[in-house]
Amino acid sequence: MSVTAARGFTASGVSAGIKDSGAPDLALVVNRGPSYAAAAVFTSNRVQAAPVRWSRRVIGDGALAAVVLNSGGANACTGPAGEDDARAMAERTARALRVEAEQVAVCSTGLIGVPLPVDRVTAGIDAAAAELSEDGGEAAAIAIKTTDSVHKTAVASGSGPASGPRSGSGPGPGWTVGGMAKGAGMLAPGLATMLVVLTTDADVSAPTLDSALRQAVRTTFDRVDSDGCMSTNDTVLLLASGASGVRPDPAEFAEAVHGVCLDLALRLVADAEGASKEIEVRVVGAASEQDAVTVGRSIARNNLLKCALHGEDPNWGRVLSAIGTTSAVFDPDRLDVSINGVRVCRDGAAGEPRDKVDLSGRAVTVTVDLRSGDASATIWTNDLTAAYVHENSAYSS
């Protein structure tokens, strides 16, 4: 049920005619209360789409009643007209739901630099408002897809201790966190080319939501580094209805939010454009967490390594080369590298024979021990394939 797994929320997804294909391309997520607390994290790209600018402003008071989202057009780099279009989407949604426009966040995704067909978008908002239901979460998740091959949802619940991600169609007797995401390309830190809406029926204040969301994003979405490209539209929203009447322990709530974010982040990597390998880069033994993140990102962005792993070649020399470009604390003669559990590099030199490494499956784990401290971090990426090049060579055609 995605974003409608939590009580107090309705959603819908419709085809507004934004996409030439006629596929669903507009979604609404509505908070029915009694609470309207909300928090958000946005792209750190200095070039920001009009919907991001609008949503940054309206989230300032920590409250939202609804989110309107469209695929088929990013409304980014569209000038003053794009700002007007984002406002028009919020105002039309507000009119349909009888709320204030300043209570509506706007999210858009698609090709940069192309104006939205506003008449179709606003008509689609009316259609989506008419179809809102407690079962509309999946339709909403489908409507925000662009190059995604699958829609992405996750749910967690808690009654006392947070139980983490679970399967199932509805909320438990306690409280629930639900979420949906889109994203398959331009996946790099500072979020990714993604839109994420999280909902909860827990009774949680806006500051608590903000703290939980920022903690979760820092070690999930911000650690996805598929292709080193950062988007203009990235948005992660967390809305609380308070409909369960349960006020969870903040740490337990934060754990559940983290679980849903991690689930969705890994689904983004699994659906990355053209990918045939899902690569987990674990850096341990670092002098600081920042060192671990820096080394992990350098490895994740090394195109030679990504090509090697696509060809099922455990070329650990490319891992060491990537580490060597960073300012992290390490001794080159004490570096260890394991690939899928085989320590192919020990003390900065050859370890176990590389032909022991099985890369026939989709999952690849690269573990680096810097042997310089106790800090660690994980970065998620994927391989570089001809399919990725093909898809992105014709994206705007």
- Residues with catalytic function: 193
Q: Which helix (H) or strand (E) holds 92?
A: helix 79-97
How many C-beta atoms lie closer than 10 Å to residue 326's C-beta?
Answer: 17
Q: Quick one: CA torsion of 162, 165, 170, 174, rounded to 10 degrees?
A: 0
DSSP codes, 106-117: EEEBS-TT----
CA of 285: how far to CAs of 21, 288, 336, 369, in Å? 50, 9, 10, 5
State how far the Cα of 356 lies from the Cα of 287, in Å rounded to an integer: 30
What are residue 194's phi and psi, to 5 degrees?
-145, 150
Locate 43 and state its tokens: 């792209």
Residue 199: name the closest of 260, 149, 250, 146 by CA.
260
How many C-beta atoms lie closer than 10 Å to residue 153's C-beta?
Answer: 23
State how far the Cα of 381 lies from the Cα of 362, in Å rounded to an integer: 12
State how far the Cα of 154 lies from the Cα of 256, in Å rounded to an integer: 11
Cβ contact 385:308 at 8 Å: no
Burial code (b: 16+ CB inside 10 Å, e: under 16) for 31-52 equals bbeebbbbbbbbbebeebbbbb
